[in-house]
């Protein structure tokens, strides 16, 4: 039987299929999955697709500019690579490769507190500062040290995740043992057997991609040699008691741009503005927290109507294409973040695959702009949305 041709990936779905073949099952499901029955996960993408654009013809499309300014930084398109916990496991030192691809594309990369690579390692890629994402830990002295280190390394934009006071119920992680509950056979299936079935990943990441700790927390996890050691430490340190008073404290110790990531309610958005946040990310954690909540495509215009003139709005969750970027800007966002797409592209083929994906997004955005009758990203507004 003739071997099928390995076609060039042209969409997020293509990269996802390649990632599914290359990653161990537990890791693919960790990235791909959501909470509960994954209702919100599906809504996130479906509701962006449901936003109809107005087609405008005979518009000069010779000069299309996707660039935007965000916090004094020029972005070649309104996109940020979102923080992905353990994103460095998708390919060898995956977050470093992702930072290189982001630099090439002229967009920011945001490193997770629980990333595999440290800020120092990611920062060594170029002089362009990364963004940093923070989870609140019980030991505020440790948080302050982490923030001081980030500032010293050039970080000026901090995204504080506020929708993880408890961990969502993620069935896929439970089944694969990432949330416990496996017997001996389950542990073998999600470990040695899974690795043996994915030898390329096992050698590239499992063997030659070490260390597998959480780089930003190495100084605090004494004797940690395995990702599970770090996960246990984070579990013990994770602070579920965080309230708006802690946002006041964070605002007092962080002198850079402060984004609150996880806003999905109008009153919460107003509170964020009142406490001095520089911006917010309309987000439901990619459908990984409370299943059944509204999609970000539905909530973005409502929050934009309430506080859009007072703050910088970003959005994540379900963004897959350049058309989605145009939709996000039309509904009130200044830019969008993507997590799963960059992680899937990285797993599919490392930096080169991610660069290809970002090129496809930019091309798709230009097409959407040209056929919607706008020449610059700054000119995109709700006038290009078809209201049936």
Q: Six-digit token pair at 143?
A: 């948080």
- Measure Cα distances from 289 to 169, 222, 241, 361 in Å: 7, 30, 17, 27
Q: Which of 324, 299, 336, 385 is nearest to 45 (CA)?
A: 324
Distance CA 66, CA 382 (A): 17
Cis peptide before 237 (omega within 30 of 0): no
Distance CA 148, CA 152 (A): 6
Strand locations in 222-380, DSSP E? Answer: 257-263, 279-282, 312-316, 335-338
Burial class, 309, CB count within 10 angstroms (exposed 0-12 / middle 13-18 / buried 19+): exposed
For residue 285, indicate whether it is catalytic. yes
Within 10 Å of residue 167's Cβ, how many Cβ atoms? 14
Task: Using only the alpha carbons of the chain, give its radius of gyration.
Answer: 20
Alpha helices, H only, 156-253: 171-176, 184-189, 192-197, 199-201, 227-237, 244-253
Q: What is the four-CA torsion angle of 236, 27, 200, 9, rounded to 10 degrees?
A: -140
Distance CA 76, CA 57 (A): 25
What residues are annotated to the active site?
A: 285
């Amino acid at each position: 039987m003739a071997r099928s041709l390995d076609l060039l990936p042209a969409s997020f779905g293509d990269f996802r299929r390649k990632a599914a073949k290359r990653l161990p099952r537990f890791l693919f499901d960790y990235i791909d999955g959501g909470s509960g029955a994954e209702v919100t996960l599906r809504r996130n993408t479906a509701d962006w697709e449901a936003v109809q654009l107005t087609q405008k013809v005979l518009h000069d499309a010779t000069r299309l500019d996707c660039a935007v300014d965000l916090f004094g930084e020029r972005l070649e398109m309104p996109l940020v690579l979102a923080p992905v916990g353990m994103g460095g496991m998708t390919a060898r030192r995956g977050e470093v490769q992702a930072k290189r691809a982001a630099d090439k594309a002229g967009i920011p990369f945001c490193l997770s507190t629980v990333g595999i690579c440290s800020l120092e390692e990611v920062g060594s890629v170029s002089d362009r500062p990364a963004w940093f994402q923070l989870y609140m830990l019980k030991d505020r002295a440790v948080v302050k040290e982490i923030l001081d280190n980030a500032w010293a390394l050039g970080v000026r934009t901090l995204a504080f995740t506020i929708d993880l006071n408890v961990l969502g119920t993620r069935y896929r992680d439970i089944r694969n043992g990432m949330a416990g509950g496996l017997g001996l056979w389950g542990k073998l299936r999600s470990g040695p057997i899974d690795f043996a079935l994915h030898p390329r990943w096992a050698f590239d990441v499992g063997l030659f991609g070490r260390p597998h700790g959480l780089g930003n927390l190495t100084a605090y996890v004494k004797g940690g040699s395995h990702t599970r050691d770090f996960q246990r430490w984070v579990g013990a340190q994770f602070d579920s008691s965080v309230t708006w008073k802690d946002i006041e404290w964070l605002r007092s110790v962080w002198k850079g741009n402060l984004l609150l990531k996880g806003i999905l309610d109008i009153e919460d958005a107003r509170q964020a503005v009142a406490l001095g946040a520089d911006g917010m990310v309309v987000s439901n954690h990619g459908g990984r927290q409370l299943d059944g909540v509204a999609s970000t495509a539905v909530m973005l215009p409502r929050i934009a109507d309430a506080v859009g003139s007072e703050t910088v709005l970003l959005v994540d969750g379900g963004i897959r294409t350049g058309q989605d970027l145009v939709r996000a800007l039309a509904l009130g966002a200044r830019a969008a973040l993507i997590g799963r797409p960059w992680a899937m592209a990285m797993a599919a083929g490392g930096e080169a695959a991610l660069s290809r994906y970002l090129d496809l997004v930019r091309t798709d955005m230009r097409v959407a702009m040209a056929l919607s009758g706008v020449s610059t990203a700054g000119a995109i507004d709700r006038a290009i949305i078809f209201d049936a």
